[in-house]
Amino acid sequence: MRREVILVVAIDTPLRRTFDYRAPAQQPDIAPGQRVWVPFGRRRVVGVVVERRDRTDVPAAKLRSAFGGVDEEPTFDSTLLQLLLWSADYYRHPVGEVIAAAMPAPLRVGTPLREETIVWSLTELGRREALAQLTARAVRLRAIVAALRDAGEMPAADLLAAADGTPELLRKLEARGYVAQAKRVPTSELATPTSREGPTLNDAQHEAVQRISGTLGSFASHLLYGVTDKLTAGLVPVFGTEDSLTLQAQYRLSQFREGSPIPTTSVVVQHSLPASTTTVALRSQYYLWMPNGRIMRTRFHVSYATADDVSGVITVNSSWEYSVTRNWVLALDFVHQRADFAVAPAIEYNWSGRVGVIVGARWFVAGSNNNATITPIAAINVLF
């Protein structure tokens, strides 16, 4: 174990871990919440410091140094950073992806937190001697000095346009010590927040607010809408060659917890119209974290369906879904119904947690009730 300044950095990657780097020699005081440029494989990426340590378990030969900070100030204050770390742990999601999702896209690739403008101004020497020392023939040099004398400081583009100058002339003045450049961060005037009186609460709303207010500062959960946290009900419309509307009720029997062998299991009752089909199903779902940090979701369903003119049908379904990235998912379903067996590979792309599209095919193996068939399938998933 070696004692030195170690930065623990979260990087936008599906791996459920952080990465240790030496603090850059020129910026040893980088603090948690700041963005840093770090080497990651053969790439140069942006990460967020989540902790400072004085030791690391990484061998000296493998420990790399951060290139430097992106900004001089933290992107996340300590309160927000701790909330993001808690969220990553609570929802069992890679911490780098959680923190990256909390930043606008430009900040993820190293855009400065605050827009900086390079401005030019006269030095003390320039204010005292420039106009006296420059010859009358140096018209444009004198025009640059005069413009800075009147304005105080100016961006290069504005200065050169006002004095009809060139960058070379500006550099000549800088070489003689008459002008200097500096970085300026424009200050924005924030509107003073205003508040207004909210709507009048009824007795039930007032009681809910009182109970929630009493738990502020601690972790607590509150159910404000729904039958219970285990029972859900809804409608499932299906549009296609056979339009249908399914009424569904689901009751959760158990909840998956990481490290536990018990999957999430539910009992589901459905009734579909206009076919008037009733289905009772037992569904289970389990998550596996792969060595590369990605998630494999497995499902196992057993259902029994009856209709007015059809005898009971038992269906067994097993499916596997592998998250290649945050957007792309590979899926494979196995279905056994009566004497028939089907395999359905598919690929899914999700624009967000609410909208996605899935494309695949279902291959029915030849059985006693049907011939071998392959049916292409495409669907758009929208969650309201």
Residue 204 lies in a domain: no
Confidence of residue 280 (pLDDT cuts 50, 70, 90): very high
Q: What is the mean pLDDT of residues 129-157?
A: 88
Confidence of residue 374 (pLDDT cuts 50, 70, 90): confident
Judge if 244 and 374 occupy the same domain.
yes
Judge if 353 and 327 occupy the same domain.
yes
Q: How far apart are CA 46 and CA 107, in angstroms?
A: 9
Residues 318/300, Cβ–Cβ less than 8 Å: yes
Judge if 100 and 137 occupy the same domain.
no
Per-residue DSSP letter, 354: S
Residue 217 lies in a domain: no
Judge if 311 and 257 occupy the same domain.
yes
Count CB-CB contacts under 10 A for residue 367.
15
Residue 213 lies in a domain: no
Closest listed residue to residue 247, CA positions, set 270, 263, 229, 226: 270
Q: What tens digit of pLDDT does each residue of 180-196 get?
A: 988 665 554 434 445 56
Judge if 121 and 254 occupy the same domain.
no
Residue 190 lies in a domain: no
Residue 275 lies in a domain: yes
Q: What tens digit of pLDDT does each residue of 217-241 get?
A: 666 666 665 444 577 777 766 665 4
CA dihedral for 144, 145, 150, 154, sign (positive or negative): positive
Judge if 363 and 244 occupy the same domain.
yes
Q: How far apart are CA 69 and CA 110, in angstroms?
A: 10
State what percent of residues in the chain have pLDDT above 90: 29
Distances (CA, A) of 31 to 52, 53, 68, 73, 212: 7, 11, 12, 8, 34
Q: How many domains does the chain have?
A: 3
Q: How far apart are CA 361 and CA 377, in angstroms?
A: 5
Residue 191 lies in a domain: no
Residues 337/321, Cβ–Cβ less than 8 Å: no
Q: Which one of 45, 73, 108 terminates a domain?
A: 108
Q: How far apart are CA 212 and CA 224, in angstroms?
A: 10
Residue 193 lies in a domain: no
Judge if 95 and 148 occupy the same domain.
no
Residues 377/354, Cβ–Cβ less than 8 Å: no
Q: Is the pLDDT of residue 376 over 80?
A: yes
Q: What tens digit of pLDDT does each residue of 327-366 get?
A: 888 999 998 887 788 899 999 998 876 788 999 998 887 6
Beta strands 355-365; 373-382: pairing state:
antiparallel
Whole-prediction pTM = 0.43
Range(s) of the domain holding residue 237? 231-382
Helix (H, G, I), strand (E, B) or coil at 80: helix
Q: Which one of 108, 127, 153 terminates a domain?
A: 108
Judge if 77 and 94 occupy the same domain.
yes
First to last CA, the chain: 52
Helix (H) or strand (E) holding 248: strand 244-254
Q: What tens digit of pLDDT does each residue of 113-131 get?
A: 877 677 888 999 988 888 8
> Tokens in use for 153?
């400081």
Residue 226 lies in a domain: no
Position 202, amino acid? N
Per-residue DSSP letter, 15: S
